[in-house]
Amino acid sequence: MAANLLRALEFCLILFTIASIGGTSHEEQARKITEEFSGFPAHSLHSHFTLSPSTASVDIEGLRRQIEELASFSDAPGPAVTRVLYSDKDVLARRYIKSLMVQAGLLVREDAIGNIYGRWDGSEADLPPVASGSHIDAIPYSGKYDGVIGVLGAIEAINVLKRSGFQPKRSLEVIMFTSEEPTRFGISCIGSRLLAGSEELADALKQVVDGQNISFFEAARSAGYPIHQEDLSSVFLKKESYHSFVELHIEQGPILEEEGIPIGIVTAIAAPASISVDFEGNGGHAGAVLMPARNDAGLAAAELALAVEKHVLESGCIDTVGTVGVIELHPGAINSIPSKAHIEIDTRDIDEQRRNAVINKIRLSAIRIAENRGVTLSKFKIVNQDPPALSSSSITATMQDAARQLNLHSKPMISRAYHDSLFMARISPMGMIFIPCYKGYSHKPEEFASVEEITNGVKVLALTLAKLSLE
Amino acid sequence: MAANLLRALEFCLILFTIASIGGTSHEEQARKITEEFSGFPAHSLHSHFTLSPSTASVDIEGLRRQIEELASFSDAPGPAVTRVLYSDKDVLARRYIKSLMVQAGLLVREDAIGNIYGRWDGSEADLPPVASGSHIDAIPYSGKYDGVIGVLGAIEAINVLKRSGFQPKRSLEVIMFTSEEPTRFGISCIGSRLLAGSEELADALKQVVDGQNISFFEAARSAGYPIHQEDLSSVFLKKESYHSFVELHIEQGPILEEEGIPIGIVTAIAAPASISVDFEGNGGHAGAVLMPARNDAGLAAAELALAVEKHVLESGCIDTVGTVGVIELHPGAINSIPSKAHIEIDTRDIDEQRRNAVINKIRLSAIRIAENRGVTLSKFKIVNQDPPALSSSSITATMQDAARQLNLHSKPMISRAYHDSLFMARISPMGMIFIPCYKGYSHKPEEFASVEEITNGVKVLALTLAKLSLE
């Protein structure tokens, strides 16, 4: 049933797409269909392109406008962006991305959980294609660039190539991944992880609920993806599905900006792990229960948060990081001793063993703190514990060549944030292009990359995709 | 305008009350009027009383039913109770209390912020009356007995005296105070504090908003109290308004239960203070910002929470307590370094100086933690810092006499929780009667006092009120 609906949607998208490719009269037709399909006036989209080599440049004004338009689909007031998986704003933003893909002449399809694919057929369309993409979901009160640059930038890279008269040999594909951020269900990279064939995730999705006790499947249904548990494996892709995958992203760190280097060539992605912990005590009245009689779940959480920092610093390596981003106390009243505390821990390293040693120390601390305070450690769950990923040396070399040909200085670097590329690396050779961002800020409203920085990134991406397409 | 409305309401209540006092035909009339007034079927109220001495006992079955009925006005599923100031459930519960007062033959009036008074005129009605009462608001996910016993128990004590044929000399008055709990506006004992003439509170109420940015006055209006800023002083009472005030309450501590003593005679109420603290840092991405570059507002909050515990324990006295019941992180996402942290601290002692020394240490810790972590201490606000209160030795003696006459063992003790009595002590001689509660539990659903324990408390209260009335 769900599969039929998706096939029907796919068929419509194919029709729209076919109609949108071609000369000027077809362009007008495409504009109208795009308006119907997207629900947005096409004049606000990037609609003026030709295929002549004279326009082989980045439409930076169009791209800047798209970034602002996409940021307006937000549950937080601007400049902050909040766009959570399968929320109304997420659905609107997805429709916007599909309309841009259609407008770029791509053949658009969606899989069962809403990974969106836009394909430009190459002259040898039977060969595994070259793909690029990222995500557009945004954690609460974050910024406009994280992920977004990798989706809008990839679509614009396609436009650049089309305007330049380039004809790909291998097909080129833009992918918008579902829910890179773990905001709603506590699981990161749902789209790319499932696409890369994670049976573990397919199992986990059958159990998870969000903070309002809404299951993954209910949430998906409300966003127009009426999937069933057994449909999840339809998202899996085979290992040979892609020739290569390249993701453009803001650095989310300060190195490129500080060193004045426009392009980062990612050689490895740090290994992330996330942990969910619950403590439970007896609670009670803040005035009446004397200190020796207490077993305060909130203080256990506070101690564990500081223990996370201590164990990370003990690693002695700058590459080890750990964060407690969530502490929730129950009942959360000033005159009540917390009877429950929930904390969420994120820890990463480029060295998997070193990171796992930190996780083990955190676990031992949680047990010791619970014992000392007489509280129950009712949950210590490692939600995910992924290995790090290495970029393909061949793609790294191609990206470096592209930067050199464009007279852009580049620098090999490690991605300390993780990305959909971490999971795409499981089924395809992978590479990432970083551009500088203001003070290295990310996950907050001050996140910013200039039009020049974005232009550089899109050019390197376009040339890299072109080179890979001809391999 | 508001004053006129209140006067009109008062007049109606007087009419209802007059109608409800008297013989059997009047009782039927009272029942009908009570139903109209309260919106509840009167058969579920305590409606079968006579004034003969043979029934001079506590209607414990009726009282137990009232406790359950009152608990059903809750925004949390039972057995938990959530009843927040001026919420719909609070309004329903207030109506229920007024109907019980009317049913008990009391003359009911409300002041501008919803303190509810029910009076039984004495034979010398010009003398300052004797009052008893407590509150019925409940913090999130708390229990059925805190405050409730002191309101329902006082009404039942009046019924006991009426059934016994007692005729008071001084009038007896039951008071239900507005918002003893600080849940909605972060201020405790709004009703009793204002009634006791706090100009400081009257000023503060002009500024405060709740978590949804609703002002105190908007909230009051939505509950049917259309007050204006200038009306607040109408709530103030003069110092000689009452001859004495006695509050019945569960102990909220384990001492009486552990020692098998049915009645606690409160000699002093510990001095409470509450503090609101905000830290602010730069936030950022949990993977990309390296540890030395962080200024984590969440870890500052965790450190301060542990510092509160440390400074309280350093006092070396069992009577000093301190609690962090609220920690809120922003943006509250697993992969984002907290850029803001809000914590709320409650600290109390029977020794005001010792408590203030703890507050001072907490303040110094907050400053030091902010410096060390490079975060901003954007708020350190002492929301209230009240002095402790001593019971009147004369009332204490009267309560002890009453317990002795009823063959109930009693024990002098300190109230570590604070109560409306703390503020009534500012304008009236004050005393408190404690009864045991299960394991000393309070502010959680497991809160419990048996019918025998409640019966004992109501009897001692009734006899104490009778004695004080004749002074």
Residues of chain A positioned with their CB less than 8 A from the CB of B313: 291
CB contact B1 to A (< 8 Å): no
Q: Does one domain contain both B354 and B400?
A: no
Average pLDDT over residues A33-47: 37
pLDDT band at B186, cuts 50/70/90? Answer: confident
Q: Flag whether residue B289 sits within 8 Å of chain A, measured between CB atoms.
A: yes
**Whether pLDDT at B431 is above 60:** yes
Tell me the nearest-neighbour CA distance from A368 into chain B, angstroms. 16
CA–centroid distance for B134 within its chain: 5
Supply the pLDDT for residue A285.
87
- What is the pLDDT confidence band of residue B272, given thresholds at 50, 70 and 90? confident
**B443 with A286: Cβ contact below 8 A:** yes
Residue B326 zone, left/alpha/beta (φ > 0; ψ -120 to 50; rest): beta
Which of B362, B385, B408 is where one domain is finished?
B385
A187 and A207 in one domain? Answer: yes
The residue from A326, A357, A385 where one domain ends is A385
- List, as ranges, residues 345-364 from B with C-beta within 8 Å of A: 345-346, 348
How far A335 CA sits from the closest chain B CA (Å)?
6
Mean pLDDT of B232-257: 95
CA of B184 vs chain A CAs: smallest distance (Å):
10
Percentage of chain A beyond pLDDT 90 is 76
Say whether A443 and B285 touch across the interface (CB within 8 A).
Answer: yes
For residue B263, what is the enclosing H or E element?
strand B263-269
pLDDT band, residue B211 (cuts 50/70/90): confident
Question: With contacts defined as CB-CB under 8 Å, which chain B residues touch A336?
Answer: 139, 142, 323, 325, 443-444
pLDDT at A413 over 80: yes
In this complex, is the C-beta atom of A289 within 8 Å of any C-beta atom belonging to chain B?
yes
pLDDT given at position A192? 98
Give the mean pLDDT of B353-358: 96
A23-32, A298-307, A377-386: which has the highest mean pLDDT?
Answer: A298-307
Set of chain B residues whose Cβ sits within 8 Å of the Cβ of A272 = 287
User: Token pair for residue B32?
Assistant: 């009908």
A250 and A282 inside one domain: no
**Structural tokens at position B254:** 């384990």
Lowest mean pLDDT among A48-62, A210-224, B2-16, B332-346: B2-16
CA distance B39 to chain A (A): 32
Range with the poorest average pLDDT among A172-181, A334-343, B20-29, B320-329: B20-29
A400: confidence class by pLDDT, cuts 50, 70, 90: very high
Distance from CA of A468 to the nearest CA of B (A): 29
d(CA A302, CA B307): 10
Identify the domain containing residue B341 by its residue range.
271-385
* Same domain as A277, residue A264: no
Q: Are residues A405 and A367 in the same domain?
A: no
Using CB atoms, which residue from A183, A318, A345 is nearest to B333? A183
Mean pLDDT value across residues B215-238:
93
Nearest to B362 by CA among B376, B375, B343: B343
User: How far apart, in whole angstroms, are the C-alpha atoms of residue B444 and residue B45?
Assistant: 26
Rounded mean pLDDT of chain B? 88
Tell me, yes or no, whether B409 and B371 share the same domain: no
Cβ distance of B284 and A348 shorter than 8 Å? no
Instruction: With CB atoms and an 8 Å threshold, state whether A333 touches B286.
Output: no
Of residues B18, B5, B11, the one with CA closest to residue B106 = B18
Which is higher by pLDDT, B212 or B120?
B120
Q: How confident is the model at residue A27 (pLDDT cuts 50, 70, 90)?
A: very low
Among residues A354, A385, A416, the one where a domain terminates is A385
Average pLDDT, integer, range A432-460? 94
pLDDT band at A386 (very low <50, low <70, confident <90, very high): confident
Q: How confident is the model at residue B42 (pLDDT cuts 50, 70, 90)?
A: very low
Cβ atoms of B388 and B271 within 8 Å: the answer is yes
Amino acid B3: pLDDT: 46
How confident is the model at residue A17, as a pLDDT? 41
**Does residue B393 register a pLDDT over 60?**
yes
Same domain for B262 and B276?
Answer: no
| pLDDT attached to residue A288 | 82
Tell which residue, B171, B170, B204, has the closest CA to residue B187: B204
Residue A382, classified by CB atoms within 10 Å of its CB into exposed (0-12), middle (13-18) or buried (19+), is middle
pLDDT for res A426: 95
The beta strand positions in B65-218, using DSSP E, are 81-83, 107-110, 116-120, 130-135, 138-142, 172-177
Interface test with B, best of A188, A255, A336 (most B CBs within 10 A): A336
Mutate to test the interface with B, among A82, A139, A285, A329 (most CBs of B within 10 A): A285
A399 touches chain B (CB under 8 A): no
Interchain contact, A334 vs B312, CB within 8 Å: no
CATH code for the domain in which residue B328 is found = 3.30.70.360
Name the residue among A105, A10, A140 with its Cα closest to residue A443: A140
Q: Is the CB of B323 less than 8 angstroms away from the CB of A334?
A: yes
The dihedral over CA atoms of B247, B248, B250, B252, expressed in degrees to the nearest 10, equals 20
Q: Quick check: B339 pLDDT over 90?
A: yes
pLDDT attached to residue B54:
36
pLDDT of residue A56: 44
Nearest residue to B452 via CA among B268, B164, B253, B256 = B256
**A338 touching chain B per CB within 8 A:** yes
Decide: B439 and B446 in contact? Cβ < 8 Å: yes
Average pLDDT, chain A: 88
pLDDT of B219 above 50: yes
Residue A295 pLDDT > 80: yes
Please state the domain count of chain A: 2
Q: Say if the Cβ atoms of B287 and A272 lie within 8 Å.
A: yes
CATH of the domain at A411: 3.40.630.10
Find the largest Cα–Cα distance for chain A. Answer: 81
Strand pairing class (B263-269; B172-177)? unpaired
B59-104 pLDDT tens trace: 989 999 999 999 999 999 989 999 999 999 999 999 999 999 999 9
Check whether residue B229 and residue B347 sit in a common domain: no
Which of A157, A353, A329 is closest to A246 using CA atoms? A157
Do A99 and A192 reside in the same domain of the chain?
A: yes
What pLDDT does A65 receive?
96
Residues A361 and A411 in one domain: no
Q: Tell me, what's the pLDDT at B47?
A: 25
A196 with A354: CB under 8 angstroms?
no
**Pair A54, A150 in one domain:** yes
Q: How confident is the model at residue A230 (pLDDT cuts 50, 70, 90)?
A: confident
User: Would you call B330 an interface residue with chain A, using a CB distance cutoff of 8 Å?
Assistant: yes
Q: With contacts defined as CB-CB under 8 Å, which chain A residues touch B417?
A: 285, 287-288
Whether residue B315 sits in one domain with residue B447: no
CB atoms within 10 A of CB A405: 12
Mean pLDDT within B235-244: 96
Mean of pLDDT values over B258-287 = 94
Mean pLDDT of B424-442: 96
Chain B residue whose CA is closest to A326:
B332
Please say if the pLDDT value at position B417 is more than 90.
Answer: no
